[in-house]
Amino acid sequence: MADPATGDTTPASHQRLADIRIAATAEAGKHTHLVRTARAGRLLSAAMLPWFLLRPPRGYGVITTTGRKTGRKRRKCVRVIRRDDRAYLVQLVPPHLAMTAPAAASGWLLNIRAHPRVRIRLPEGTFEGTAREITDPTECAIARTILCETVVAADYGECALHLRGRPSRAKAQQLHRYWFDTGHPLVIEFGR
């Protein structure tokens, strides 16, 4: 099976898909029944969208992509961390889907692959740029640190929705690492 982000069919791409399955299997039991599926994630995003369009909380935003088939604008709530002229985010793959289809990509990621120009609404304003999946190992390590170690107030609520038990900084970071390791990391470069 090829890695859909790179088209790579090397043993390393096969290993990445195997690693995603292993990580998803280890984490699946820790997730709540509330947000276990792609459909549940879409419903949660739709419920948050009106509030995030007014003013997203720090660490979150609304990404607007262009539909790959329709050409229509599509919006999605995302967790995003801005650093200077870049914003880092991850397309999440729910645990049950990651176990069976680790290369799965959501509609908004497929839209980015077809039309990389995006708009992102953040607490500090709206920015336009070019989105791309991160494949370089050095850049991936930087993105992982930025996305996984940053914990903002809204992450505690997100943690409560996704994981069982009381939210904590450590659990939020664990959730972020899981998302990064099983998802598709992206960067938006502003002004490009």
pLDDT at 48: 84
Q: What is the pLDDT of residues 54-112, one digit of tens each?
A: 899 999 999 999 999 999 999 999 999 999 999 999 998 777 677 777 788 889 999 99
Distance CA 36, CA 138 (A): 31
Q: What is the pLDDT of residues 122-157, one digit of tens each?
A: 999 999 999 999 999 999 999 999 999 999 999 998
pTM: 0.83
Q: What is the DSSP string of the chain?
A: --BTTTTB-SHHHHHHHHHHHHHHHHHGGGB-STT-SHHHHHHHHHHHHHHHHH-PPTTEEEEEEE-TTT--EEEEEEEEEEETTEEEEEE---HHHHHH-TT---HHHHHHHH--EEEEEETTEEEEEEEEE---HHHHHHHHHHHHH---HHHHHHHHHHBSS---HHHHHHHHHHHHHHSEEEEEEET-
Non-local (6+) Cβ contacts of 162 within 8 A are 31, 32, 34, 35, 175
Would you place residue 8 in the very low, low, confident or very high pLDDT band (cuts 50, 70, 90)? low
Q: What is the mean pLDDT of the chain?
A: 85
pLDDT at 36: 56
Question: Would the pLDDT of 180 be above 60?
Answer: yes
Q: CA-based angle 158:35:167, to the nearest 5?
A: 35
Would you place residue 2 in the very low, low, confident or very high pLDDT band (cuts 50, 70, 90)? very low
